[in-house]
Structure 1
Amino acid sequence: MLRRAGQSLVVLAGVSVLVFSLIHLVKGDPVRLALGTRYSQESYDALRARNGLDLPLVEQYFRWVGHALTGDLGVSFRSGEPVTRLIAERLPATLTLAFAAILVALAIAIPLGTLSALRPRSLTDRAATVVSQIGISVPDFWLAIVLILVFAGTLGWLPSGGYVPLTEDPLGWFQRLILPTIAVGVVSGSVITRFVRSSVLEALGSDHVRTAQAKGLPGRQVFGWHVLRNALLPLVTVTGVQLAYLLSGVVVVEIVFSWPGLGQLALQAVEARDYPVLQGAVLLFALTFLVINLVVDLLYTRIDPRIRR
């Protein structure tokens, strides 16, 4: 754990250097964009000095990193609010959509992939393969638009977008969550289905499974103790990657459904050249991937005792 945590810190440091360097290569003056019609030379110079943009790039980087280590990600050029507060305001919406979508994805992938593997080359297997291939091929934004047209426009069953906090209106929160969850969950579930099928097939063909079957163990016991546990490792890996991707913000789906998540915040920061917000968001995305990868490694040791040895 200590070794992996140390590696994660090194990766995070490298990501911070890359993020800071690449953002400052983007053309456009963020201060000029932030001031807009309020532009004057005095306000321009004052805003640059307040955000340290008049300092050398190396000094700007170490100043930013030093503040980030204390939880201070800077102040937005556009709104003047702390970046930490902006991210905290968007985080609940992103967490809600990500975890709801991954639950839908697993609810689709585990039974569909398992049935497909238990009956290879059957009609069920072919149907599952076609369905998962369609889900992988269809863009999530196109599926989102179709869902809005059908369920919000034609049938009028659900709202077309927006977000309501759970504490304010539980029913409205749930209704607005359904369509974006389906749009994201179906695509992720199609990806995970292929991994479940291949993992279960590989586990079914292993020697210890054939030995258990030869001993006359019940089929449910063989599947639960010998097949499923060995098939969990690839499933945990791909689920972790998909969850990290969702937590990093599904930008296009968030825009289609007017979902105020981190992806939409990062896109708005790119358009406005809002360096502090963009740097903070990307750093959080990198940290999310690192933490989830570390959690996946820890789950490996619980699922497969051979890794502990």
Structure 2
Amino acid sequence: MTLPVRITLRTIASLLAISLLAFAIISAMPSDPVAIAIRAWNLPVDGEIVAGLRAQWGLDRPFLERYAAWILRFFSGDWGLSFRTGEPVLDEFLRRLPLTLTIAFSGLTLALVAAVPLGFLAALKPRGLVDGVTRMLAVLVQAVPSIWLGLVFLWVLGVQLRWIRPFSRDWSGLILPIALIALHSLAVLTRVYRRDLIDISSQPFFRTALAKGLGRPAALWRHGHAHALYALLSAFRAEASWAVGSTAAIEVLFGLPGIGQFLVESIAARDYPVLQAYVMVVAGWLLLLNAGIAASLAWLGGRRA
């Protein structure tokens, strides 16, 4: 069985397992969404209304029957109706997903692109200025929660210096959210890339390349970049997972109408269709990312061999 087939089958099996586990956990959440909806919509507590809503939402059927019906509808494009808004969940996600993806992808892409030159410069002069700055940044983002750091940036850049308009609805309102994602990932990825380059520079073949007259920058790039890129992509997978939760928190902090904020609003209402769809979207994003990185690592591993 070829590698792409194995990765595809593993991705599908993982997605189905996650969907079943998420459906079970969400269904077991305390409180009844029907009772919450009745209070939110100011409906009379009537037995017929309660029974009608439970039947409409499929809450009166056995667990496995509900799961089978839901997963089939989900993959056919019918994600159900939101208990809270009454709108199709898929439409709600399609309206909000571009904003969330813009924040996450932009931050991660900026971090990945900048990590290579910064990590290379830090490895070229291990105790130089770039190395010291990236080390301090790595300590800062690991020690300080992104929410707190976002509040500091809001106060300094938005209130005191007035350089940005953080809550505006145009592109300027996305500068800080993207920067928060990029800063955290940049610090981690830079140090990972730099560490592997340093490790390569201590190997006998690297010293042999220097002895043959190759300059240190050229030798470090030619013999160390592919090895360090392997570690960088492995670390990027973890950073992409971190960005999922951080993007949701940042959307709430900055009042951005992405799917993270929509999720937070839906949790209190026990909006099952929204919660299940969010889990599937996040799981799909991470599994596809893992599949792509696994294929890239296999290709790099072949080159290294």
Q: CA offsets per residue over residues 184-235 of structure 1, 9 Å max, x none?
A: 2212222222212212112222333223222222434323221111110111
Unpaired segments of 5 or more residues in structure 1?
A: 165-171
Report how many aligned residue pairs link the two structures: 299
Unpaired segments of 5 or more residues in structure 2?
A: none
State the shift of 1:292 in Å. 0.2
Partners in 2 of 1:10 and 1:281 — Cα distance?
A: 18
Which residue identity is paired with 1:13?
L
Partners in 2 of 1:269 and 1:209 — Cα distance?
A: 56
Aligned pairs for 1:1-309 within 5 A: 1-36=4-39, 37-41=42-46, 42-106=48-112, 108-121=114-127, 124-162=130-168, 164=169, 172-173=170-171, 175-247=172-244, 250-306=247-303
Q: CA offsets per residue over residues 106-157 of structure 1, 9 Å max, x none?
A: 3553333333322234565344322321122111111111111122212223
SS at structure 2 position matched to 1:250: helix
Q: 1:82 to 1:248 in 2, by over 3 A?
A: farther
After TM superposition, the score normalised by the length of structure 2 is 0.90
Runs of 4+ in structure 1 over 4 Å off: 121-124
**Are 1:117 and 1:200, in contact at CA under 8 Å, matched by a contact in 2?**
yes
Partners in 2 of 1:47 and 1:242 — Cα distance?
A: 41
**Are 2:146 and 2:180, in contact at CA under 8 Å, matched by a contact in 1?**
yes
SS at structure 2 position matched to 1:38: coil
Give the alignment's Cα RMSD to 1 decimal: 2.1
**Are 1:20 and 1:279, in contact at CA under 8 Å, matched by a contact in 2?**
yes
**Are 2:134 and 2:191, in contact at CA under 8 Å, matched by a contact in 1?**
no
More displaced stretch, 206-215 vs 20-29: 206-215
Q: CA offsets per residue over residues 236-258 of structure 1, 9 Å max, x none?
A: 12223323442566222111111
**Are 2:107 and 2:178, in contact at CA under 8 Å, matched by a contact in 1?**
yes
After TM superposition, the score normalised by the length of structure 1 is 0.89
Which residue identity is paired with 1:189?
L
- Which residue matches 1:169? none
Partners in 1 of 2:148 and 2:53 — Cα distance?
A: 41
- Which residue matches 1:168? none
Partners in 1 of 2:241 and 2:235 — Cα distance?
A: 10
More displaced stretch, 259-268 vs 57-66: 259-268
